[in-house]
A and B are shown apart, each in its own frame.
Chain A
Amino acid sequence: MTLREGKINRTYIVEDVTLEDKLMVRLQALGMIPGTQVEIINQKSNDSLMIKVRGTRFAIGRQIADGVNVQEMR
């Protein structure tokens, strides 16, 4: 599943990130790499979402959320 399909207040683990190079590297620099935990804090119906990665909150657009493959953490 992708991060976009995730639900609010749940935590996911990043499997891989497939985005255009420049964007991918920026996300990686922020620590969004395979194995990283991502919590969805807030979500808008069809737009951006708010996530927490390594203790920092970010707002990301849906194009980014589409490119992050995740697995739900149990």
Chain B
Amino acid sequence: MAKVQDAPIRVGFIGNPNCGKTTLFNAITGAKLKVANWPGVTVEKVEGSTVYHDQEMKLIDLPGIYSLTSYTMEEIVSRNCILSDEVDVVVNVVDASCMERNLYLTMQLVELGKPIVVALNMMDVVEERGMEIDLHRLPEMLGDVPVVPVSARKRTGLDTLMHAVVHHFREREEQRENVISYSDDIEQQIAEMETALTAEHPDWGRTRWYAIKLLEHDGEVLKQVSPSIAGLATESLEKEIIQEKYAYIEEVIQDTLLNREEKAMRTERIDRWLTHRIWGLPIFLGIMLLVFALTFLVGDFLKGYFEQAVEALSGWVTDGLLYIHAADWIISLVADGIIAGVGGILTFLPNIFILFLALAVLEDSGYMARVAYVMDGIMSRLGMSGKAFLPMILGFGCSVPAIMATRALEREKDRRKLMMVIPFMSCSARVPVYVLFAGIFFGRYAFLVSFSMYVLGLAIAILVAKIVTVIQKSSDNTPLLIELPEYKSPNARTIAIYVWEKIKDYLTKAGTVIFVASIILWFILNFGISGKVDDVSLSFGSMIGKWLVPVMAPAGLGMWQVVVALISGLSAKEVVVSSFAVLYGVSNINSDAGMTQLSQMLAAQNFGMLNAYCLMLFVLLYTPCIATIATIRSESHSWKFTGKVLLLQLLIAWLAATIVFQIGSLF
């Protein structure tokens, strides 16, 4: 086959979960994909590109997998991608500090016969532990695969790796497929299978790999061959083949890994406490309490500076508009609509920043996977494994990635159950609502009241999951099986990327969804059937709101402004706050003056402490934002399911707020 001079080389990155694939991918492509120290972060393939010495390259980051079987979604995605023509060269990222397990995937890749380059990652960790790897012997034993030591975190060895990839591609060396010789019996069966395959599908190539997969009774491959060939594989030899692979890997380790004494005692010492049989759970709850305390208390401390900035900006813009003699309605739109709405939201940035910073540190430290272990007992009573708790914690940040993370679960039933309850986990968009209303109505107890929202959200999520489990009678849960990575001190670069991406999302949201929502809201408040209205009670907004007031009254939310704010909150939950600012015409809603102004206006409507609590509760539980709805739809592939989830959430929110309001009103 002639080489097209300028065609980019397509390189697939594959490796075990948590081996540093994505970090390496980011380092090479300059991408800013999310990295975290727990398995299963990359749930779909991601593409990037780079240029090495005038050679263009297209890089594909694949989900981490332990083997090339076809038992999980990630395995099928990764395997099909490598098998197809989408990939010219495979870069197999191997965590040198757990080489024994990582090489299992390598041995399978070698059998595949595609050009591969092994990137031996985490060499720094290996050296730290005083271990040595024989870099001459290792490639020999892997069938002359190039092995390049790299450190993705320290960004060393990247050039050599790219050089090896380009060289390997240009030489078009086919990989030797029979690096491992199995026992005579298996080899004989492989040979027979290969003969049959060559006769039946002469154009397939890599017959040895197909033969081995058929002998392993691989579901996907069995589907592709004719019944006569499938019939040749009478009994599955999967177990024997795995054992012989590991036996070979043990030989490799014997020959290439020197000073094997493990010094990884630090992780074990930390785990004695963090995953203690009794203290594990209280410690986890304590850590979450700390995260939210930082979010609210330190965030509030910082927000003063932001308020001053917004105040100043608001002043300048209004002065400027007056100076150029802009029409009154334009000044009103900018000052009462855009600045009140968008500006108000920006002042919550410190809280959001600290929340994501804390979550990033937790994710990068390696603690996340332990939470799966700590929570396994509780989760198994809900008919799920502890692993299902990870997406729920992510939900404290944002529901969208949390719902996508449910892909790590195997059963569709479990995924749907999680999608149903993840929106109850209090995401960062609810933070402004809590900061504002708890701040106005609960004074020094504001933090406790906010924290109660997190606890209630979690409790309701667990309760709903339990009820669904009982209804579905699906208690045959998949048992927990998750790798626990080493603890490490958080990496500044990883955390900076993570937090910056979240802040950028927040700013983008302020500039798009919240911006548009504020303008629309301004319009429906300033226009009515008769055109521009001065009396807000004649506006469209008031008409819509009043129509729903009777429904919301039992929940203590029977004011048309509140109803309108809640409806606009469907675009994004921060919009509830920006809507309050626009509805009540408060310019700097998060400042002391703004809060006083709002509380006086609310008090005039008999909206007190209890109403505020019901509002927070309703915002916590009701239908999530459009982005989340769209994600639930695309992940479940079902409008019917999505619709049911939305109705359920609306109902639960209304019931919870009504119960609290009715009981609270008795006192």
When the two chains form their complex, are residues B71 and A25 in contact, meaning their CB atoms are under 8 A apart?
yes
Pick from B268, B280, B479: contact of A63, CB below 8 A.
Answer: B479
* Nearest-CB residue, chain A, relative to B479: A61
Q: How far is the CA of A23 from the CA of B262 in the complex (A)?
A: 29
Q: How far is the CA of A28 from the CA of B69 in the complex (A)?
A: 12
When the two chains form their complex, are residues B246 and A33 in contact, meaning their CB atoms are under 8 A apart?
yes
Say whether A71 faces chain B, with CB atoms less than 8 Å apart.
Answer: no
When the two chains form their complex, are residues B238 and A31 in contact, meaning their CB atoms are under 8 A apart?
no
Pick from B101, B267, B369, B373: contact of A54, CB below 8 A.
Answer: B101
Q: From residue B402, how far is it (CB to closest CB) to chain A in Å? A: 21
When the two chains form their complex, are residues B69 and A48 in contact, meaning their CB atoms are under 8 A apart?
no
When the two chains form their complex, are residues A31 and B101 in contact, meaning their CB atoms are under 8 A apart?
yes
Pick from A29, A42, A60, A63: contact of B69, CB below 8 A.
Answer: A29
On chain B, the residues within 8 Å of A43 by CB distance are 277
> When A28-B242, A48-B373 are in contact, do A42 and B104 touch as well, CB less than 8 Å?
no
> When A28-B239, A31-B101, A42-B272 are in contact, do A57 and B479 touch as well, CB less than 8 Å?
no
Q: From residue B486, how far is it (CB to closest CB) to chain A in Å? A: 8
* Nearest-CB residue, chain A, relative to B480: A61
When the two chains form their complex, are residues B479 and A62 in contact, meaning their CB atoms are under 8 A apart?
yes
Q: How far is the CA of A23 from the CA of B69 in the complex (A)?
A: 12
Central interface residue in A22, A36, A42, A63, by most chain B CB within 10 Å: A42
Q: From residue B444, how far is it (CB to closest CB) to chain A in Å? A: 38
Q: How far is the CA of A57 from the CA of B38 in the complex (A)?
A: 12
On chain B, the residues within 8 Å of A42 by CB distance are 271-272, 275-277
> When A26-B66, A29-B66 are in contact, do A61 and B380 touch as well, CB less than 8 Å?
yes
Say whether B100 faces chain A, with CB atoms less than 8 Å apart.
Answer: yes
Pick from B243, B272, B369: contact of A33, CB below 8 A.
Answer: B243
On chain B, the residues within 8 Å of A48 by CB distance are 373, 376-377, 386, 480
When the two chains form their complex, are residues A29 and B67 in contact, meaning their CB atoms are under 8 A apart?
yes
Per-position contact with B for A24-45: 1 when CB-CB < 8 Å, else 0? 1111111101101000011111
On chain B, the residues within 8 Å of A63 by CB distance are 479
Say whether A64 faces chain B, with CB atoms less than 8 Å apart.
Answer: yes
On chain B, the residues within 8 Å of A23 by CB distance are 478-479, 481
Say whether B22 faces chain A, with CB atoms less than 8 Å apart.
Answer: no
Per-position contact with B for A48-74: 1 when CB-CB < 8 Å, else 0? 101001111111111110000000000
Q: How far is the CA of A31 from the CA of B386 in the complex (A)?
A: 22
When the two chains form their complex, are residues A50 and B480 in contact, meaning their CB atoms are under 8 A apart?
no
Q: How far is the CA of A53 from the CA of B485 in the complex (A)?
A: 13
Say whether B484 faces chain A, with CB atoms less than 8 Å apart.
Answer: yes
When the two chains form their complex, are residues A57 and B262 in contact, meaning their CB atoms are under 8 A apart?
no
Q: How far is the CA of A37 from the CA of B552 in the complex (A)?
A: 62
Q: From residue B375, how far is it (CB to closest CB) to chain A in Å? A: 10
Q: From residue B475, how far is it (CB to closest CB) to chain A in Å? A: 12
Q: From residue B68, how far is it (CB to closest CB) to chain A in Å? A: 9
When the two chains form their complex, are residues A60 and B271 in contact, meaning their CB atoms are under 8 A apart?
no
On chain A, the residues within 8 Å of B484 by CB distance are 50, 57-59
When the two chains form their complex, are residues B101 and A30 in contact, meaning their CB atoms are under 8 A apart?
yes
Pick from B104, B370, B385: contact of A31, CB below 8 A.
Answer: B104
Per-position contact with A for B246-277: 1 when CB-CB < 8 Å, else 0? 10000000000000001000011001100111
Say whether B98 faces chain A, with CB atoms less than 8 Å apart.
Answer: yes
Scan residues 226-244 of chain B and give those whose CB is less than 8 A from a CB of chain A: 238-239, 242-243
Say whether B483 faces chain A, with CB atoms less than 8 Å apart.
Answer: yes
Q: How far is the CA of A27 from the CA of B238 in the complex (A)?
A: 12
Q: From residue B53, how far is it (CB to closest CB) to chain A in Å? A: 37
On chain A, the residues within 8 Å of B485 by CB distance are 57
Q: How far is the CA of A13 from the CA of B372 in the complex (A)?
A: 26
Per-position contact with A for B467-503: 1 when CB-CB < 8 Å, else 0? 0000000000011111111000000000000000000
On chain A, the residues within 8 Å of B277 by CB distance are 42-45
When the two chains form their complex, are residues A47 and B376 in contact, meaning their CB atoms are under 8 A apart?
yes
On chain A, the residues within 8 Å of B480 by CB distance are 48, 59-61, 64
Q: How far is the CA of A22 from the CA of B479 in the complex (A)?
A: 12
* Nearest-CB residue, chain A, relative to B262: A55
Q: From residue B604, how far is it (CB to closest CB) to chain A in Å? A: 54
Pick from A41, A57, A61: contact of B483, CB below 8 A.
Answer: A57
When the two chains form their complex, are residues B376 and A55 in contact, meaning their CB atoms are under 8 A apart?
no
Q: From residue B396, how far is it (CB to closest CB) to chain A in Å? A: 21
On chain A, the residues within 8 Å of B238 by CB distance are 25, 28
Q: From residue A39, how far is it (CB to closest CB) to chain B in Å? A: 10
Per-position contact with A for B504-520: 1 when CB-CB < 8 Å, else 0? 00000000000000000
On chain B, the residues within 8 Å of A33 by CB distance are 239, 242-243, 246
On chain A, the residues within 8 Å of B380 by CB distance are 47, 61
Pick from B71, B99, B239: contact of A22, CB below 8 A.
Answer: B71
Q: From residue B401, how far is it (CB to closest CB) to chain A in Å? A: 23
When the two chains form their complex, are residues A41 and B271 in contact, meaning their CB atoms are under 8 A apart?
yes
When the two chains form their complex, are residues B239 and A41 in contact, meaning their CB atoms are under 8 A apart?
no
When the two chains form their complex, are residues A44 and B372 in contact, meaning their CB atoms are under 8 A apart?
no
On chain B, the residues within 8 Å of A44 by CB distance are 277, 280, 376-377
When the two chains form their complex, are residues A59 and B479 in contact, meaning their CB atoms are under 8 A apart?
no
Pick from B262, B373, B385: contact of A50, CB below 8 A.
Answer: B373
On chain B, the residues within 8 Å of A31 by CB distance are 100-101, 104, 246
Q: From residue A8, how far is it (CB to closest CB) to chain B in Å? A: 9
When the two chains form their complex, are residues A61 and B71 in contact, meaning their CB atoms are under 8 A apart?
no
On chain A, the residues within 8 Å of B67 by CB distance are 29
On chain A, the residues within 8 Å of B481 by CB distance are 23, 26-27, 58-61, 64
Q: How far is the CA of A43 from the CA of B275 in the complex (A)?
A: 9
When the two chains form their complex, are residues A59 and B271 in contact, meaning their CB atoms are under 8 A apart?
no
Q: How far is the CA of A45 from the CA of B425 in the complex (A)?
A: 29
When the two chains form their complex, are residues A58 and B482 in contact, meaning their CB atoms are under 8 A apart?
yes
Q: How far is the CA of A25 from the CA of B242 in the complex (A)?
A: 9
Q: How far is the CA of A59 from the CA of B253 in the complex (A)?
A: 24
When the two chains form their complex, are residues A34 and B483 in contact, meaning their CB atoms are under 8 A apart?
no
Q: How far is the CA of A36 from the CA of B253 in the complex (A)?
A: 14
Pick from A28, A30, A59: contact of B376, CB below 8 A.
Answer: A59
On chain B, the residues within 8 Å of A62 by CB distance are 479
When the two chains form their complex, are residues B376 and A61 in contact, meaning their CB atoms are under 8 A apart?
yes
Q: How far is the CA of A24 from the CA of B66 in the complex (A)?
A: 14
When the two chains form their complex, are residues A60 and B479 in contact, meaning their CB atoms are under 8 A apart?
yes
**Pairs of residues from A and B, 10 with the lowest C-beta to C-beta distance, nearest first:** A61-B479, A61-B480, A59-B373, A29-B67, A63-B479, A57-B484, A47-B377, A48-B376, A54-B100, A28-B242
25 contacts between A and B (CB under 8 A): A28-B239, A28-B242, A30-B101, A30-B104, A33-B239, A34-B243, A42-B271, A42-B272, A42-B277, A43-B277, A48-B386, A48-B480, A54-B100, A55-B98, A56-B483, A57-B485, A59-B386, A59-B482, A60-B479, A60-B480, A61-B480, A62-B479, A63-B479, A64-B479, A64-B480
- Known pairs A31-B100, A36-B246, A58-B482; list 7 more (Cβ under 8 Å): A31-B246, A41-B268, A48-B480, A50-B271, A59-B370, A60-B479, A60-B481
